[in-house]
Amino acid sequence: MIIKNKEITVIDIFAGPGGLSEGFSNFSNFTGSKISFNIKLSIEKNATAAKTLKLRSFYRKFDQSKVPECYYDFIRGDEDAFDKIKMLPQWEEAEEHVWNGALGDIPDIELHSRIARSISGNKDWVLLGGPPCQAYSLVGRARMSGLGHTVRSEGLAEDELLKLKSDKQSEFLQDHRHTLYKEYLRIVAIHQPAVFVMENVKGILSSKFPDGIDDTGKPISKKAFDVIRNDLQNPCEAFKNDNSYKELKLQHNSKESEYELYSFVKNSDRDLLNHISDRDFVIRSEEYGVPQKRHRVIILGVRKDIKTKPSILKKRDRVTVKDIIGSMPKLRSGLSKKEDTSENWLKTRRDALPLPLLDSIISHRYKNEVADILEQTSTILDRGYPFIANIAPISDNTLELKKWIEDPRLKGIIQHETRAHMNSDLGRYLFVSIVGKAKKTSPSLDDWPDKLLPSHKNVLDGNGKRSKKQSFKDRFKVQLYTEPASTITSHISKDGHYFIHPDPSQTRSLTMREAARLQTFPDNYYFCGNRTERYHQVGNAVPPFLALQLAKVISDLFKRISI
- What is the full DSSP assignment across 437-485? HHHSSPPPGGGS-GGG----TTTB-TTSSBPTT---TTSS-B--TTSPB
Question: In the predicted model, what is the mean pLDDT of residues 546-561?
Answer: 95
Q: What gap in Å lies between CA 95 and CA 113, rounded to an integer? A: 17
Question: In the predicted model, what is the mean pLDDT of residues 94-102?
Answer: 97
Question: In the predicted model, what is the mean pLDDT of residues 447-452?
Answer: 79
Give pLDDT tens digits for 28-85: 999 999 999 999 999 999 999 999 999 999 999 999 899 999 999 999 999 999 999 9
DSSP tag of 239? T
What pLDDT does residue 137 have?
46
| Nearest residue to 482 via CA among 292, 366, 322 | 322
259-263 and 295-303 as β-strands: parallel, antiparallel, unpaired?
A: antiparallel
| Nearest residue to 93 via CA among 55, 127, 122 | 55
Q: Are the CB atoms for 320 and 482 separated by under 8 Å?
A: yes
Give pLDDT tens digits for 200-213: 999 899 888 776 66
DSSP lists the bridge partners of residue 126 as 10, 195
Query: Phi and psi of 260, rounded to 5°?
Result: -95, 140
384-388 and 282-284 as β-strands: parallel, antiparallel, unpaired?
A: unpaired
Angle, helix 181-191 to helix 243-251, in steps of 10 degrees:
40
Q: What gap in Å lies between CA 397 and CA 492, rounded to an integer? A: 28
pLDDT at 5 over 60: no
Q: What mean pLDDT is reported for the chain? A: 87
Picking from 85-89, 224-228, 373-377, which range would have the lowest pLDDT averaged per residue?
A: 373-377
Give pLDDT tens digits for 337-351: 899 999 999 999 999
Q: Are the CB atoms for 487 and 543 separated by under 8 Å?
A: no
Instruction: Please indicate, yes or no, whether the overall pTM of this predicted structure exceeds 0.85.
Output: yes
